[in-house]
Amino acid sequence: MNAKVLIVGCGDIGRRVGQLLLAAGHEVTGLVRSEESSAPLAGVGIRPLVADLNDPEELQNLPVAGALVFYFAPPPGGGITDPKVRNFCAAATGAKAPKRLVYISTSGVYGDCGGALVTEETPANPQTSRAKRRYDAEQALRQWGEAQGVEVVILRVTGIYGPGRIPVFRLQDGHPLLCLEESPPTNRIHADDLAQVCVAAAEKGAAGEIFNVSDGHPSTMTEYFLAIAEQVGLPRPPLISMAEAKEVMTPLMLSYLTESRRMDNSRMLNRLGVRLRYPTLAEGLKASLEQE
């Protein structure tokens, strides 16, 4: 792999992927929306490109022809489609089409699975608007890939944690947590492990292939927050029932607590040959807090 690389939506994960690729000798361009977000890219050697994916006019001269693209920009905050992905696809056709694209989607596209083990063969069943937007982006990219001869690889990523992304503030604010008995299984991946999975998917994933991305150790959201409280020395927040949670938690938080899945990551490990640096939350959390 010695391709020209464009990372569309070059934020936290994009910078991590970019740094891995720079170290391997690639030229890396990172697209962001704001001038403010371009400074941290230049600081690590990624060439910044500022353009708004919402504006097709700004996407006319993207350096994508024959490139390796990582598409990490999130869908918009509302609706059930992803116009940004569609604008990108429209700007990268014919002679401008890239060779390959790796897309970060979410495990949310599987919907509620009642705590069952979820493989890549599990049918997508997006239920929330957020998940529908993601699934729309997946579908748009797959159709575009088939029409334009672009090898599209989709990563269905679970909750990302890592340095700078540990929600200590929620504990400091004293928000209650759902009691352990009613808290459903959730799945996570450390940001550095996600970055190495993205690179491995670019090297080894096949056109049209989907990979679940998680550390393979599901635990509940409540266990996650209690582990953080213990590591940073904060008091345990009050634990409440689901009936009480419905009264006091935000709809967003409740939507996370009413979907449950156990993600199977064996395709990621076996096909991509990934060796996780942080296979358990305990290891990843300790390392993340030390680096903050």
Binding site for ligand NAP (CB under 6 A): 9-14, 31-34, 37, 52-54, 72-74, 84, 104, 106, 157, 159-160
| DSSP symbols for 108-161 | GGG---TT-EE-TTSPP---SHHHHHHHHHHHHHHHHHHHHT-EEEEEEE-EEE
Per residue, what are the HEC states of 34-93? CHHHHHHHHHHCCEEEECCCCCHHHHCCCCCCCCEEEECCCCCCCCCCCHHHHHHHHHCC
Rounded Cα distance, 263 and 158, in Å = 8
Rounded Cα distance, 239 and 236, in Å = 9
The residue type of 203 is E
Closest contact distance (angstroms) between CB of 53 and ligand NAP is 4
Closest contact distance (angstroms) between CB of 132 and ligand NAP is 14
User: 157 or 210, CB closer to ligand NAP?
Assistant: 157
Closest contact distance (angstroms) between CB of 141 and ligand NAP is 13
User: 83 or 240, CB closer to ligand NAP?
Assistant: 83
Closest contact distance (angstroms) between CB of 38 and ligand NAP is 7
User: 73 or 92, CB closer to ligand NAP?
Assistant: 73
Closest contact distance (angstroms) between CB of 238 and ligand NAP is 25
Closest contact distance (angstroms) between CB of 197 and ligand NAP is 12
Rounded Cα distance, 9 and 37, in Å = 10
User: 55 or 181, CB closer to ligand NAP?
Assistant: 55
Tell me the C-alpha to C-alpha distance, in Å, between residue 138 and each of 39, 92, 143: 30, 16, 9
Sort strands 117-118 and 188-190 into parallel, antiparallel or unpaired.
unpaired
Q: Give the 3-state secondary structure of residue 235.
A: coil
Closest contact distance (angstroms) between CB of 12 and ligand NAP is 4
User: 240 or 254, CB closer to ligand NAP?
Assistant: 254
Would you state the structure tokens that stand for residue 99, as one six-digit string?
């060779």
User: 56 or 74, CB closer to ligand NAP?
Assistant: 74
The residue type of 242 is M
User: 32 or 202, CB closer to ligand NAP?
Assistant: 32
Residue nearest to ligand NAP (CB): 11
